Amino acid sequence: MKTQSNIERILESGQLVVTSECGPPRGADPEVIRRKGKLLQGVVDAVNVTDNQTSVVRMSSFSSCLILKEMGFDPILQMVCRDRNRIAIQSDILGAAALGINNILCLTGDHQKFGDHPKAKNVFDMDSIQLIQTVKTMRDEGKFLGGEELKGRPMLFIGAAENPFADPFEIRAARLGKKVKAGVEFLQTQCIYNVPRFEKWMEMVRNRGLHEKVAILAGVTPFKSVGMARYMKNQVPGMDVPDEMIERLKGVPKEKQAEEGIRICVETIQRLKEIPGVRGIHIMAIEWEEKVKEIAERAGLLPRPQIK
């Protein structure tokens, strides 16, 4: 084992990993994080903490990670390249490792246009692939990007995200290949609704042998309603929601749509678990954390292995 990461430990034991995510609040109240955390206790092996997702200002990922760490979680620090240059990024990596964070998810970050401060200047001093390289260089070579040696290596398990449904489809596996070359160790995918297309992507991934070099955790998000499904299909870039899924939700009465959404999600997980190369499931129940336990339970993902 390279790190103290629970994800790494469970992967090494050969078991499926289950992760979920927790979006920090738009305010300084730590109880919001604790409340969300309680809903995930005993349900997941590690929990992602988003970094100002959709470019809306929230409590920092790092401080929210620490609150979850105090509750016994193994948090995954999400870090985007939008808001920090290489000086701030390396500094935050050291700080996170010093305070016991074991996992980092290296992301490009949504454009600030989507958020509540569209007039901000963006940074993008590096991209997500270069961020993976940065963490790896610091951890494995004990060096800063500037070449100087650092004392006390940040022992972080290195993750990234990939959207199998974004375009151009033909280079999506090649792009994962670049992340692997950069040193990524676990990968969480964008929400999967179109399973056949995901299977096709996984086939491309396996043809390159990438599934043996990076642990792929397949991402799912339950629909609360047909309205949410339509929104995801039409408004969220790079999201692939098949029409039959919308038809299926439309076919049940409004008050039963949430239950149907959960059922679709559970069925999707059961299909994903069978795909060769899938090493875990990442359940993103957006502002619906109370349903993660039920989804995990019904998909046969519980109980989780005990954290030592």
Partner 1 sequence: MIVANRKTLEEILSMLKPYQKILLLGCNECVTVCATGGEREVGVLASEIRLSRAKDGEPVEIKEFTLERQCDHEYIDQIRSFAGDYEVILSMACGAGIQYVAERYRNKVVLPAVNTTFLGVTLEQGVWAERCQGCGECVLHLTGGVCPIARCAKSLLNGPCGGSSNGKCEVDKELDCGWQLIIDRLKELGQLDKYEEIIPIKDWTPARDGGPRKRVREDLKL
From the number of C-beta atoms within 10 Å of its C-beta (0-12, 13-18, 19+), residue 80 rates as buried
Tokens of 252: 């049940």
Q: Is 227 in the site for partner 1 (CB under 8 A)?
A: no
Among residues 15, 60, 163, 270, the one that binds partner 1 under rule CB under 8 A: 163
Question: Which listed range, 18-26, 28-36, 42-50, 79-87, lies at the site for partner 1 (CB under 8 A)?
Answer: 79-87
Q: Is 294 in the site for partner 1 (CB under 8 A)?
A: no
CB nearer to partner 1: pick between 167 and 247: 167
Q: Is 238 in the site for partner 1 (CB under 8 A)?
A: yes
Q: Is 108 in the site for partner 1 (CB under 8 A)?
A: yes
Smallest separation (angstroms) from partner 1 to the CB of 168: 5
Among residues 134, 188, 194, 221, the one that binds partner 1 under rule CB under 8 A: 134
Phi and psi for 79 in degrees, rounded to 5? -135, 125
Q: Is 36 in the site for partner 1 (CB under 8 A)?
A: no
Among residues 29, 140, 141, 167, the one that binds partner 1 under rule CB under 8 A: 167
Question: Of 145, 112, 152, 295, which Cα lies nearest the Cα of 221?
Answer: 295
Q: Is 54 in the site for partner 1 (CB under 8 A)?
A: no
Tokens of 35: 């409340």
**How many Å separate Cα 203 from the centre of its chain?**
21
Q: Is 87 in the site for partner 1 (CB under 8 A)?
A: no
CB nearer to partner 1: pick between 123 and 302: 123
Among residues 21, 92, 162, 260, the one that binds partner 1 under rule CB under 8 A: 162
Binding site for partner 1 (CB under 8 A): 81-82, 86, 108-111, 113-114, 122, 124-130, 133-134, 145, 161-163, 166-168, 171, 174-175, 177-178, 181-182, 190, 237-238
